Chains A and B, each alone.
Chain A
Amino acid sequence: MPRVRGTQGSQKRQTMTEEFEPQIIAFCCSYCSYAAADLAGSIRMSYPSNIKVILVPCSGRVDPVYLLRAIEEGADGVYVTGCMEGDCHFLTGNFKAKKRVSYIRKMLDEIGIEQDRVQMFNMSASDAPEFARVAKMMTEKIRALGPNPLRDRQHFNSRKNCNSIALCN
């Protein structure tokens, strides 16, 4: 009987993958990619609606825990976009973001989550086509990876299981 269950499971997963529209969080630096996204909109350049943009003052503002929490809350993919290397408004924010993304990718790999669900890209404020290209590429990549494996779990309720005690913090 286990083989039958396995077959059903894989059929179900395949069906889900075919219908799957990924939810992707993009942390966008206000000095580059957020402006690029704005420009993409202004010139009527389309990019997938799967991308949910979160404005940050610098890619260096993105804490590693934001990336993990996004996955924990059910996002299928997360990416950080920073200025071109050497062009960070705050000098080194994008390098810090790069190292933090790399740290979280390794951690995800360690716990059995595909590390490609978390990525980092660099672009300039004027590069609307690059913003759209990254958004499309990320959507396709996550679509190929399939849904966040935590979504399948019957006990999935991250808010319930995610408590921080306020005492002395």
Chain B
Amino acid sequence: MIIAERKPIQEILEMVRNHQRILMVGCKGCVTVCNAGGKKEVAILASALRIARRKQGKPITIDELTLDRQCEPEFIAWLDDPIKKNDYDAIISLACSIGPQYIAEAFDTMVVLPGLNTSFMGGTLEHGIWGEYCAACGSCEIHNFGGLCPITRCAKGLLNGPCGGSVDGKCEVNKDLDCIWELIYKRMKKLGQLDRLGQKIAAKDWSTSLSGGPRKIIREDLTI
């Protein structure tokens, strides 16, 4: 899933400095699971902003709404009615950065503000802790590395690791970071595939990554 975290409240307060009536939109997708932009987080942030603005003597009205997802136009369309019926002067989106972009494209006269910083693609390590697992390079090669991704999880992104900086299974860049190449070695040893580690991996074709601008996938069997 996409992992995000709330922007500092002062940064959000600065963004809404000149606004008085706001719609805060949460998302029930990834950001609910990572506790950054679900219904509960919308309620907390909206309350905090109202308190801060009232203390400043500049009260703000914030309506709260959480969509099933903000990364699909059909759910963004659910904002039509509330926006028509209310004179909002800005929308704060608590989704990954796809949400505010979709809202901005759907409502071209509306100021859209991001409430979250989109951090990475990852998973839950334990409740309240998330780790990065994928760099979305567009051409997955983890089958060569025992199912683990050195592009994302090696600080140097080495395909022919390890480097000489691994100490007691930890990375030289960050002592809290496991050396992924040690984990790859241990895993491939268990799989009986150590011989594969001797083979050189050719330079990766990065054309499937962001090098050509934003990517698009077209599935002819699904398009109407």
- Would you give the 0/1 interface string for A111-138, flagging 1 where the beta carbon is closer than 8 Å to chain B? 1110000000000000000000000000
A155 to B78, Cβ gap below 8 A?
A: no
Say whether A65 faces chain B, with CB atoms less than 8 Å apart.
Answer: yes
A69 located at the interface, meaning its Cβ lies under 8 Å from any Cβ of chain B in the complex: yes
A58 within 8 A of B: no
CA separation between A80 and B68, bound complex, in Å? 33
Which one, B41-49, B93-101, B112-120, B213-221, is touching chain A? Answer: B41-49
- Of the listed stretches B56-64, B137-145, B172-180, B181-189, name the one at the interface; the rest are far from the partner chain: B56-64
Please, which residues of chain B bring their CB within 8 A of the CB of A156?
54, 59
| Closest chain B CB from A154 CB (angstroms) | 8
Report the minimal beta-carbon distance from A123 to chain B, rounded to whole angstroms.
27
Q: A71 contacts B81, CB within 8 Å?
A: no
Contacts A164-B64, A169-B39; A153 near B59 (Cβ below 8 A): yes
The minimal Cβ–Cβ distance linking A28 to chain B, given in whole angstroms, is 22
Specify which chain B residues have a CB less than 8 angstroms from the CB of A164 in the assembled complex: 43, 63-65
Whether a CB of chain A sits under 8 angstroms from the CB of B170 is: no
Bound Cα distance from A146 to B57, whole angstroms: 18
Closest to A166 in B: B65
With contacts A69-B47, A110-B10, A155-B59 taken as known, whether A165 is within 8 angstroms of B64 at the C-beta atoms is yes
Q: Is B9 an interface residue (CB 8 A)?
A: yes
Q: At the interface, is chain B mostly helix, strand, loop or mixed?
A: helix
**Is the beta-carbon distance between B68 and A107 smaller than 8 angstroms?**
no
Against B, the Cβ 8 Å flags (1 = close, 0 = not) of A128-164 are 0000000000000000000001100101101011111
Q: Closest residue of chain B to A156, judged by CB?
A: B54
Are B55 and A162 in contact, CB atoms less than 8 angstroms apart? Answer: no
Which residue of A has the minimal Cβ distance to B23?
A165
- Taking CB atoms, residues of chain B closer than 8 Å to A64 are 40, 44
Decide if B192 is an interface residue (CB 8 Å cutoff): no
Our pick among A113, A167, A169 for the contact of B55 (Cβ within 8 Å) is A113
A167-B26 Cα distance, complex, nearest whole Å? 12
Do residues B51 and A150 form an inter-chain contact, with CB atoms below 8 A?
yes
Once the chains are docked, how many angstroms separate the CA of A111 from the CA of B52? 5
Question: For residue B60, which residues in chain A have a CB less than 8 angstroms away from its CB?
Answer: 161
B8 interface residue, CB < 8 Å from A?
Answer: yes
Chain A, range 52-96, C-beta contacts under 8 Å to B: 63-65, 68-69, 71-72
A168 within 8 A of B: yes
Partner-B contacts on A (CB < 8 A): 63-65, 68-69, 71-72, 107-108, 110-113, 149-150, 153, 155-156, 158, 160-165, 167-169
Other 8 A-B pairs with CB < 8 A, given A64-B40, A111-B13, A161-B50 = A68-B44, A72-B51, A112-B52, A150-B55, A153-B54, A156-B54, A162-B47, A164-B65
Instruction: Give me the 6 closest cross-chain CB pairs, A-B, nearest first.
Output: A111-B52, A68-B47, A155-B59, A165-B65, A164-B64, A65-B43
